[in-house]
Chain A
Amino acid sequence: MFTFGPVFPPVKVRVERSPAGGSRSEEIERLYRERGDRMWRAVLAFAGDPEVASDAVAEAFAQVLRRGKDVRDPERWVWRAAFRIASGELKERRKRPVVETIGTYEMEEPARDLVVALGALSEKQRRAVVLHDAAGYPAKEVARIVGSTEAAVRVHLMRGRRRLRELLKDDDG
């Protein structure tokens, strides 16, 4: 007889559980459940319009669902698609983001002012800032998502945040 060292008594019991993730559609739903909230808020911050945010996020996820395994990196794909769709909708509506529609959405005052101020940034700056500060991605990851370079993202971030502080008359920090 030999042993591989100390023997622990059993600690596991039989449990019932949810299905293990395997298919792409389950992966996409998991992605939505994990990231959907912050994605929606980020696109809201980007577009300044809850309707645009909902439509862009739903459309992006619906598209990636249909594309299945053709999309190798669903998260990056959905982020880029959501911004692209939101940007397209804004242009189509021929309006600058924000202001009136945001007024119908329940939101704390500091956040509401922030979303309005974000509308004054260039699209690249706004996209970098919301992915970094609203969605919580580091600059390197933002670059991966938007298909840019980290250096460019850092420039957009610095300039965007500085502009926001000017607009909001905020403290540094």
Chain B
Amino acid sequence: MADLDERFRSLSRSGSPDLWRDIETREPRSGIPPTPGVHRALAAAVALVIAIAGIGLAAVTFGGSEPATGTSGSLLGPKANGEIWFRVGGGEGGSRIDAVAPDGSSRRVVFSTDDGSHRSRISFSPDGSRIAYDNYVVGGTGIGTANLDGSEAVRLTDGVNDSWPSWSPDGTQILFSSTSYDPSIGRCEAGSPHEFDCPTDIYVMDADGSNVVRVTSDAADEFMPVWSPDGSTIAFVRNTEKASVPRPAIFTMRPDGSDVRQVSSGSGGSDWWPSWSPDGSRLAFAAIRNEDWGIWTVNADGSDEHMILGGMGAGYVDNPVWSPDGSLIAFVGNLEVDDYSPQDALYVMNADGTGLTPIADEPGVGVAGDIAWQPLPAPVETVGPTPVPTGAEVVETFDVANDVRSVAYGEGSIWVAASNDEGSFGGRIIRIDPATHEVQAEIPVEVIPTWEVGGGAMVVSDGSLWVTGSLEAPGAFDDPGGGADAAVIRIDTTTDEVVQTFEFGGTHGADLTFLDGELWVLVFGDESVDQEMEVVRVDLSSGDVLARIPLETGWAHSIVGAEGRLVVLESGPGAANAAGRAAVIDPNTHAVSRVEVPGEYITPMPVITGGQVWVSLDPGFARLDPRGVEFDDPVEVPRRFSDCCGFVEADDRGIWFLSLDPQTGTDRQLNLFDAATGDVAELAVLEDGAPVAMAVAPDSIWILNYEGTLTHVTLG
């Protein structure tokens, strides 16, 4: 039986009609006016004359266009993209080094024409703080290093033909090529000047210029050495033939010169200017193949060699340099004239050859290459604030269970609490895969889970799911204060088993929070039988109640811990939700301070955003300072945001809440209140269900509906 992938492959083998003639001739149905100046016409064929010039001639004509393939990766970790440095102009004079940001902005002159020294083939040190370069100015020839502004220059070698420096990933060594007289090599016959008669070979030295070691020594030319990001391999160019027409190709070897392997085929032309991808898996290089300039990539083992840019009509493209973060490739060239020209510009493209973008030119002179891409330390990934979404999309509303009570997100799963739907004590926790919406586990529990009126009916923390609810107790279920005790259970999220059950007295339901590692439970009471609401501190191991703090209210829904305090919103007289006080509890002294809430609640739930306690009001939100036990002035929002739904959730992005969709007046709309700015982002309209609870995940919002369905909203 065919599998799904085979069916798609089968589909890809199906023929398709050529529609181009229809496309060219058809009048679009939608009445789109033709854009002035845009018309369909076949461009006249243009025969491009390709200069009969080799790379060497190019080097002389556009002198200095050879690269510093200076995107050396590093053992020091991932890199970010800094400036791109490149040569403007060329030849024996009149050139300078410019820098530009990868998006084409912030262009500047780095080393001006009359700077007094010539820095070619620049290579950045792995930390991007220094450069290596070669200098051909008489009296200063050789490889040098300097700070980015040219200061603290150190001349490391003095060979007139020393070139192409490349830093080792750890910054301790520098590769370069040179042509030194060596009578042991046949081609290197005595004569003058020896340097130009002898083969070019690759050398390595310490970054201070000491300990120069010759890596290659044969009659072929080896040059353009570039260290692999992990330091284990050197890529370089080697002439594959010693005949009168050498064909250069990309090779690799170990840093000691052993294990030489040909990587690029050089088929039909010449390959040069290797540049490693930062992960060390691939090499980009420039080539002339079958008379076309191109930029190619190949796996480090020589497999999967293919052209990513070039071929017919591509013009002149050369000098590819992989970006430090691996996403882009910079190169020099032009897409009009198939030769070096004063129109040559600096381009970047995606590493697969798409997204071609010119970022710097120099009309009349041209960009000559010498591209070096500065590596910067990659931003440290932190578990900081999740980006604020710019949009949201309802993916699906799907069935979960009857009589659902609360929803939470954590440990990579969505957790839904429901009763057993049998009218008896007991419930179930349904674990759902957020990607597939499949049920991963259904865990029976003894408690009837609490209706989520605040965020804490379930809490996922440190490999555990904490569920609040009520256990069967003496007395009739419907008796005031009887028949049920508040309880908390702990489920191990590895085994999906209930491992602890804590019982607290009280009545139906509870809420919980953690503050500085301590578990605090808001135990629901029953005012009608003088059963007080209370906050209890619980020993996590034994479940023993370590402290009981009574509240002065007929009803409270939820408890949060922040800024070193516990906060409960006590309802007004007669358990009215509309007004009340915030009770602020010092967890050490158990002292309770109270402050009037500056307005009517939307719902009596405090939430935490940005480490601060906020309360939703009608209409708006107010921040509570638990230390000072006072509210800031409320932040008002448009009245229509207060019309609905009665529950909120929060994370570091702000306060998530529902209102009525202004278009339909009945559908629910998901919004995000930015506590820093007071702005409200209207994100998505939920067409299905009557929401009862909400869970916030980094990339999604999950809304539990009274009908027993769950609505998945993704955030963009």
Contacts and interface: CB of A to CB of B under 8 A. Distances in A.
By secondary structure, the B interface counts as: loop
Given A4-B63, A8-B248, A70-B35, A151 B700 contact: yes
Given A4-B66, A12-B288, A17-B313, A133 B436 contact: no
Contacts of A4: 56, 59-60, 63-64, 66, 120, 163
A41 B11 contact: yes
Most buried by B among A3, A41, A171: A3
Contacts of B15: 106
B196 A3 contact: yes
A62 B50 CA distance: 35
A66 B34 contact: yes
A111 B7 contact: yes
Given A41-B11, A110-B10, A9 B54 contact: yes
A170 interface: yes
B312 interface: yes
A10 B4 CA distance: 52
A114 B10 contact: yes
Nearest to A75: B354
Interface stretch (B39-47, B513-521, B616-624): B39-47
A5 B7 contact: no
B265 interface: no
A36 B16 contact: yes
B269 interface: yes
B23 A68 contact: no
Contacts of B269: 11
A12 B41 contact: no
Contacts of A16: 47-48
Nearest to B137: A2
A156 B245 contact: no
Contact of B435 (A21, A38, A158): A158
B43 A23 contact: yes
By secondary structure, the A interface counts as: helix
A65 B40 contact: yes
A170 B6 CA distance: 10
A87 interface: no
Nearest to B40: A25
A5 B177 contact: yes
A99 B437 CA distance: 29
A164 B4 contact: yes
Given A14-B50, A149-B716, A19 B313 contact: yes
A5 B44 contact: no
Given A12-B54, A24-B38, A45-B11, A63 B32 contact: yes
Contacts of B2: 110, 168, 170
Contacts of A113: 7
A63 B7 contact: no
B12 A41 contact: yes
B395 A155 contact: yes
Interface string B3-41: 111111011111111111011101111101111011111
A120 interface: no
Nearest to B15: A106
A20 B6 contact: no
B477 interface: no
B196 to A, nearest CB: 7
Nearest to B12: A41
A170 B7 contact: yes
A8 B14 contact: no
B217 to A, nearest CB: 16
B335 A38 contact: no
B124 interface: no
A4 B257 CA distance: 24
A69 B50 contact: no
Given A9-B245, A58-B19, A155 B11 contact: no
B55 interface: yes
Contacts of A158: 435-436
Contact of B7 (A8, A105, A114, A156): A114
A83 interface: no
Contact of B312 (A2, A14, A17, A172): A17
A69 B35 contact: yes
A73 B323 CA distance: 24
A3 B161 contact: yes
B43 A26 contact: yes
B45 A66 contact: no
A18 B46 CA distance: 6
Given A7-B54, A20-B335, A114-B8, A152 B44 contact: no
20 contacts: A3-B196, A4-B163, A6-B200, A8-B246, A9-B246, A10-B52, A11-B288, A19-B43, A19-B313, A62-B24, A106-B15, A107-B10, A108-B14, A111-B10, A114-B10, A148-B393, A148-B714, A151-B699, A155-B436, A171-B3
Interface of A: 2-26, 29, 32-33, 36-38, 40-41, 44-45, 54, 57-59, 61-63, 65-70, 105-111, 113-115, 133-134, 148-149, 151-152, 154-156, 158-159, 161-162, 164-165, 168-173
Given A14-B50, A20-B48, 20 more contacts: A2-B160, A4-B163, A6-B200, A7-B57, A8-B55, A9-B56, A15-B48, A17-B338, A19-B44, A44-B14, A62-B26, A62-B27, A107-B11, A108-B11, A111-B14, A114-B11, A155-B714, A158-B435, A164-B4, A169-B1
